[in-house]
Amino acid sequence: MDLYLVTDEAACLGRDLFWVVEEAVKGGVTMVQLREKSLATRAFVERANRLKELLKPYQVPLIINDRVDVALASDADGVHIGQSDMPYETVRALLPPGKIIGLSAETPEHVHEAEKWDLAYLALSPLYATPSKTDHAEPWGLTGLQWVRANSRHPLVVIGGLNLQNTTEAIEHGANGIAVISAICSAESPRMAASQLKNRIQIGQTKT
Ligand code: TZP
Ligand code: MG
């Protein structure tokens, strides 16, 4: 999950979401989260099924945001939950063995509580303020990221305002990966944007 794409059709500048995702994967995206806040359930499941088929040949895992039922229905690889979604223990009990769970942490308390859980990653939400999610919590910033790195055993993903200019320093400050919407979905070439972000991640990894 070093380069994690979170989908948002509204950010795709009118282009087909599946085209955007496939281009992004060809450019180096290693995990995809289907995030749908207003789609009807049936359309959500259809979209998840189609995305699952699209990603299969690339061996890129599909994660479903918020909805365990949609993840089960589409045999997705896992679920991403936030602090107001179903609790970790409930999600774990509902998912078959081998499925993964990612969790958003917005406060130090969330980070401490997450220590007892088996997470594929902890997402610091948001690293920076972003117009892509207006109801976000207080941003962690690089100082917050360093604190989480020192206080969590989980792989860390940062989300919110990540772009070509600030990716390397996020990796240098302890992030294992970055999650983005607009830096890829709204790029003129999602494939090139992904490949350039990947390059910035690799630069950060060699510096640490
Ligand atoms: N959660 C925290 S910030 C965010 C989400 C879904 C939006 C990230 O979007 P962008 O465009 O990469 O800042
Ligand atoms: Mg959620």
pLDDT of 70: 98
pLDDT of 165: 98
pLDDT of 56: 98
Q: Give the number of the ligand closest to the Cα of residue 64.
A: 2
Counting from 1 in the atom list of ligand 1, the atom nearest the Cα of 179 is 12
Distance CA 91, CA 86 (A): 6
pLDDT tier for residue 127 given thresholds of 50, 70 and 90: very high
**Ligand 1 pocket: which of 81, 110, 181 to mutate (most atoms <8 Å of CB)?**
181
pLDDT-wise least confident of 37-41, 99-103, 132-136: 132-136
Q: Above 90 in pLDDT, residue 170?
A: yes
The verdict on the CB of residue 204 being under 6 Å from ligand 1 is no
Complex ipTM? 0.99
Interval between CA 145 and ligand 2 midpoint (Å): 21
Q: Above 90 in pLDDT, residue 207?
A: no
Counting from 1 in the atom list of ligand 1, the atom nearest the Cα of 161 is 13
Q: Give residues with Cβ within 8 angstroms of 70, minimum separation 6.
A: 34, 41, 44, 45, 48, 64, 76
User: Does the predicted TM-score (pTM) go above 0.80?
Assistant: yes
Using an 8 Å Cβ cutoff, are 4 and 157 in contact?
Answer: yes
